[in-house]
Amino acid sequence: MGKRDSGVSSVIGEMLMIVLVLILVPVVTISLMNQLPEDRTPTVTIKMGPINNTGYVAFYHKGGDWIRKENIQVFRNGYKIDSTRLLLQNLTFDLGDELGVSELTRGDNISIIAKNAVIFSGVVN
């Protein structure tokens, strides 16, 4: 009987080790996933230029993060402006770049949004 008991205890020991690993791997994975940083909201300093006679206003990137053109949305008085009215030379809005918006009028409330965060808000003068 002594030889059989030693074989059974080693199999039980191996099974317990496998069960322990199968329990610990998901626990460690989940705890590591909670430690990942969240997506960062871009920080940009934007200066609005004066409106010209045709309703064109330039917004200048004065510092901060660069933003992809496709991530930029401009709202006029709460309504999204069609992207065809946005003028940006590059695929990104970066330091020194100019973002132009046409067909605006004095008193319009303008909001520029990137990645679901308002990066500029102001009134056209």
pLDDT > 90: what percent of the chain?
A: 72
Nearest to 119 by CA among 56, 37, 54, 62: 62
- Residue range 57-68, pLDDT digits in tens: 999 999 999 999
Number of domains in the chain: 2
E strand or H helix that includes residue 28: helix 2-33
- Residue range 95-123, pLDDT digits in tens: 999 999 999 999 999 999 998 899 999 99
Residue keyed to tokens 């999204």: 80
Same domain, 58 and 95: yes
Q: Say if residue 38's pLDDT is above 80.
A: no
The pTM of this model reads: 0.69
What pLDDT, on a 0 to 100 scale, did the predictor assign at position 3?
Answer: 55
Same domain, 23 and 80: no
Q: Bridge-partner residues for 63, per DSSP? A: 45
Cα-based torsion angle of the residue sequence 22, 25, 26, 28 in order, rounded to the nearest 10 degrees: 150
Range of the domain at 19: 1-36
- Residue range 23-33, pLDDT digits in tens: 999 999 888 88
Same domain, 20 and 68: no
Same domain, 31 and 48: no
